[in-house]
Structure 1
Amino acid sequence: MATEQEHGPRGASRAASPRVTVTVLGFDGSPLSPAARRALEQATLVIGSIRHLDLIPVPETARRIYMGGLGAALTRLALHDGPAVVVASGDPGYFGVVRALREQGLRVRTIPAVSSVATAFGRIGLAWEDAFVVAVDPPADGVDGTEHRDPGKVRTGGRAAKDGGFGNGPGATLRAAANLCRAYPKVAVMCGEGAGPRELAVELLGPDKSGPARTLVVAQRLGEPEESVEWLSLDEAAERHIWGDPCIVLCLDEAQVLAPGAAGAGAVPVAGWPGPSGGWASADNAFVYRSGRVLPAEARALVLARLAPRPGTLVWDVGAGSGSVGIECARLGAAVVAVERDADSCERIDLNATMHQVRLRVVRGQAPEALLDLPQPDAVFLGGGGADVVRAVTGRDPRIVVAATTAIDKVAEVKAALRGEGRERRRVDGVLLQSSRLVSLPGDAHRFAAQDPVFVLWSERS
């Protein structure tokens, strides 16, 4: 049953007339509730998309405004004197128009319908409290009042925390959505204009067409006469150019979420990403590794702090060795590509990832050649390689590059390569980490055993 919720700014200056009360009506194709009908009957102004206003009983005495841009609609509402209704799809308080209305100082009452994300999962009979939900904004002010068309940011819900650092443009936000799909088996993407199923599939496939094993469930015009729900491979979605709007895409790893016995595998007591179990910078012996091929936990803690892995980002672990850094980044929510030339080490990375219950992509190859067709990274860790590898990585212009070495003779060339050249020079910093670990001796005695020093250097965009 639909319920009414009223919201108003507290203590903020109001740009709109205090006489204006805007009722935001969620519409999912179901018959309107008595409260929704009353709001429409009393309205002197009704704003919504053409398809919505053609499907609901708008009074003949009310002025209709078809919503093309959110800015124009906000102006109309601020100037209007009398009861007004804004019609939006699904739940307008969930990645919807309610936030934008409140930011303009308007007093808002909502009568929500079922969220389109809930409807999409319901159509395929799948629980979704363990899903990530990401809203991809349109490239311009082409808002029609649907749930996710509140301009300005990529926003995540469900198991992901809101992250304003995903980027500002549609390309960046689409990449963040794709990174969530790479990292997690169950993601709902609320598409925007110019960032639909085709663009998502192309981003996931990457230049080398070797995307993750994912199925896209594309739900279009839910609750409307033209509703459709289709199951597609990434290749199939990438080949189709025209899609309906609004559009929800469920990106699924079928092996994890649809296999027998998988229904309870992702169950969580509360919705929301809990973060990694057991913290981070795990003990060295938490990984299977060849002698000298694991970054010590003390250095790993600093490296993770600089990389800042989180949901929606992609991290490269180059010269991955045991994969300890990449695996910890995956535990912190990032999508990860581990690059390693040694076949035995690649097997260890897979084993360690299984032990830590994370998934990452392992690429066997020699850098820098192995990096050419990889998707754009947000952060890169270099556990090996010379100046040519460093230059190849900085040439992709990730937010940050972190390199670690125990060889003092490599520090100068790595630092120079991290800085870059010309106008693209980057800020470089670094530390020498020296630690001693507590060791027990006979007779209840102890000593501190010195560990090999590690040079950690990093470069960031200027």
Structure 2
Amino acid sequence: MGTHQNGPSGASPSGAAKPRVTVTVIGFDGSPPGPAARRALEQATLVVGNIRHLDALPVPESARRIYMGGLGPALTRLALHDGSAVVVASGDPGYFGVVRALREQGLRVRTVPAVSSIATAFGRIGLAWEDALVVAVDPPADGTDGTSREPSKVRTGGRAAKDGGFTAGHGASLRAAANLCRAYPKVAVLTGEGAGPRELAAELLGPDKSGPARTLVVAQRLGEPEESVEWLSLDEAAERHIWGDPCVVLCLDEAQVLAPGAAGGLPVPLAGWSGPGGGWAAPDNAFVYRSGRVLAAEARALVLARLAPRPGTLVWDVGAGSGSVGIECARLGAAVVAVERDPDSCERIDLNATMHQVRLRVVRGQAPEALLDLPQPDAVFLGGGGADVVRAAVGRDPRIVVAAMTAIDRVAEIKGALRGEGGSGGSRRRVDGALIQSSRLVSLPGDAHRFAAQDPVFVLWSERS
């Protein structure tokens, strides 16, 4: 009885023809090629790669060279080639590299990896990186700076890698990458054309030039004679117009990851409330708050479900009170800006954030004025404020705006503002809502129990049409 083989090296179960070519992908880190890489090059009839890499390697004169200007044309040539082909790529080509694209084209691939550029960059500065978050930024397809696109393409997989690192895959917008840098103290960013160190720094600084306390370590041409590793402030990086390629940018919160005795970054991802049972919608008493200034856990559960915080997104928590909503969003991976006018409440937000092991930006000010220069949000929670605050939030056109209130006479006005009525823009949004009425189990003497009614909470939300 014969054997059947499928998968990468054989025919598919549907009988599709086996690819004619096996592509060997060699990782380049500046060191001389090893025996496996040399053998692959000696046998190659087609070699694809960056001109600097190919000039540094023993490519046979008989082999045809294709210099990698764009990946699309190179993939087409590889798919049509009927011979031994080699692709040369930086570092580990299977880690945010060309291997995925080759396999998606149906090509058989084997790799001769080198040390990844991420590992090399962290190694150059002597910093452990098992707790780092890694994100690759795609160059904007429309010729813009990429800041206007949704961050929905950040692929996190929802769990840490086996070695403890946490990765967000290809396809992230520049804005999503910046939000990851806001939320986490140790992030490695693989940059792209039109989305380099300058653009990343400018996005982090924001319109008001008051970005997070971050240092950028920009590593260029690692392993090559022209290698450089520079430490820069956000202002310095944003002012420089010309950068080499490729770039690896390490975005670091020095106070957390570089200070003597610093343990490193926070666990990535944090994955919600750290108390018994985990999940989200932590008990009210998990926060320090002034009477009536914490959103009840039952209503908070719905609010969090609508906000859908995740790595790569930015959430505004306006009228933050104790900061319970923003802190839970941060625990779920989002970057958060908490806006609160009361100075004592601002101190409570900082205290609660420390208790829950997250960092968020606290802006003391009165909405809507305090919202004017904040970075673009993906989701907004309004725990207070009138229709003018709602219109200001809706005017930024986030994916969703969620408002919570306890007074029924405010519902009609807030609903109209959420729909976009009375605003300067012409767009109208879908509005929905729910009344949250809950009763909590209370123990009584004699092993008796009752359910005590909680104050009702009206939750309204507005989404793009």
> TM-score scaled to structure 2, two decimals?
0.90
Counterpart AA for 2:61: E
Work out whether residues 154 and 311 of structure 2, in 8 Å CA contact, stay in contact via their aligned partners in 1.
Answer: no
Counterpart AA for 2:343: A
CA distance in 2, matches of 1:95, 1:55: 23
Q: For 1:312-371, what per-residue CA distance to the aligned partner results, in whole angstroms no more than 9, with x for missing partners?
A: 110000000110000110111111000001111111111111111111000011100000
Matched, 1:27 2:58: no
Q: How does 1:59-458 map to 2 (within 5 A)?
A: 59-140=60-141, 154=154, 159-160=165-166, 162=168, 173-262=173-262, 264-266=263-265, 273=269, 275-276=271-272, 277=274, 278-421=278-421, 423-458=426-461
Q: Classify 1:460/1:91 alpha carbon distance in 2 versus 1 (closer, same or farther; 3 Å).
A: same
Work out whether residues 191 and 249 of structure 1, in 8 Å CA contact, stay in contact via their aligned partners in 2.
Answer: yes
Q: Tell me what 1:145 maps to.
A: none
Q: Tell me what 2:52 maps to.
A: 51
CA distance in 2, matches of 1:16, 1:224: 41
CA distance in 2, matches of 1:184, 1:249: 14
Q: Tell me what 1:3 maps to.
A: none
CA distance in 2, matches of 1:261, 1:247: 29
Offset, 1:274: 5.4
Work out whether residues 135 and 169 of structure 2, in 8 Å CA contact, stay in contact via their aligned partners in 1.
Answer: no
Counterpart AA for 2:271: G
Counterpart AA for 2:51: I
Q: For 1:50-82, what per-residue CA distance to the aligned partner results, in whole angstroms no more than 9, with x for missing partners?
A: 111111110011001111111111110111100
For the residue of structure 2 that corresponds to 1:54, the secondary structure is helix
Counterpart AA for 1:432: L
Q: Which runs of 5+ in 1 are unaligned?
A: 1-5, 143-151, 168-172
RMSD of aligned C-alpha atoms? 2.2
Q: Classify 1:123/1:155 alpha carbon distance in 2 versus 1 (closer, same or farther; 3 Å).
A: farther
Offset, 1:12: 7.8
CA distance in 2, matches of 1:335, 1:9: 45
Offset, 1:18: 2.0
Number of residues paired by the alignment? 438
Work out whether residues 116 and 222 of structure 1, in 8 Å CA contact, stay in contact via their aligned partners in 2.
Answer: yes
CA distance in 2, matches of 1:378, 1:107: 40
Q: Tell me what 2:149 maps to.
A: none
For the residue of structure 1 that corresponds to 2:345, the secondary structure is helix
Offset, 1:232: 0.5
Counterpart AA for 1:135: A
Offset, 1:184: 0.7
Offset, 1:99: 0.8
CA distance in 2, matches of 1:343, 1:313: 27
For the residue of structure 1 that corresponds to 2:56, the secondary structure is coil
Offset, 1:261: 1.3
Work out whether residues 44 and 82 of structure 1, in 8 Å CA contact, stay in contact via their aligned partners in 2.
Answer: yes
CA distance in 2, matches of 1:83, 1:141: 36
Work out whether residues 71 and 141 of structure 1, in 8 Å CA contact, stay in contact via their aligned partners in 2.
Answer: no
Offset, 1:17: 6.4
CA distance in 2, matches of 1:438, 1:293: 22
Work out whether residues 270 and 332 of structure 2, in 8 Å CA contact, stay in contact via their aligned partners in 1.
Answer: no
Offset, 1:161: 5.5
Q: Classify 1:13/1:141 alpha carbon distance in 2 versus 1 (closer, same or farther; 3 Å).
A: farther
Work out whether residues 23 and 84 of structure 2, in 8 Å CA contact, stay in contact via their aligned partners in 1.
Answer: yes
Q: For 1:195-218, what per-residue CA distance to the aligned partner results, in whole angstroms no more than 9, with x for missing partners?
A: 111111111111111011111000
Work out whether residues 185 and 253 of structure 1, in 8 Å CA contact, stay in contact via their aligned partners in 2.
Answer: yes
Q: Tell me what 1:147 maps to.
A: none
CA distance in 2, matches of 1:403, 1:281: 16
For the residue of structure 2 that corresponds to 1:302, the secondary structure is helix
Offset, 1:282: 0.7
CA distance in 1, matches of 2:448, 2:11: 62
Q: Which runs of 5+ in 2 are unaligned?
A: 1-6, 144-151
CA distance in 2, matches of 1:394, 1:13: 50
CA distance in 2, matches of 1:12, 1:69: 33
Q: For 1:245-271, what per-residue CA distance to the aligned partner results, in whole angstroms no more than 9, with x for missing partners?
A: 000000001110011111x34486xxx
Work out whether residues 15 and 106 of structure 1, in 8 Å CA contact, stay in contact via their aligned partners in 2.
Answer: no
Offset, 1:139: 2.5
Q: Classify 1:221/1:7 alpha carbon distance in 2 versus 1 (closer, same or farther; 3 Å).
A: farther
Work out whether residues 14 and 106 of structure 1, in 8 Å CA contact, stay in contact via their aligned partners in 2.
Answer: no
For the residue of structure 2 that corresponds to 1:439, the secondary structure is strand
CA distance in 2, matches of 1:338, 1:298: 21
Offset, 1:141: 11
For the residue of structure 2 that corresponds to 1:424, the secondary structure is coil
CA distance in 2, matches of 1:50, 1:303: 52
Aligned-pair identity (%): 86
Runs of at least 4 residues off by over 6 Å: 12-17
Q: Tell me what 1:41 maps to.
A: 42
CA distance in 2, matches of 1:389, 1:37: 65
For the residue of structure 1 that corresponds to 2:316, the secondary structure is strand
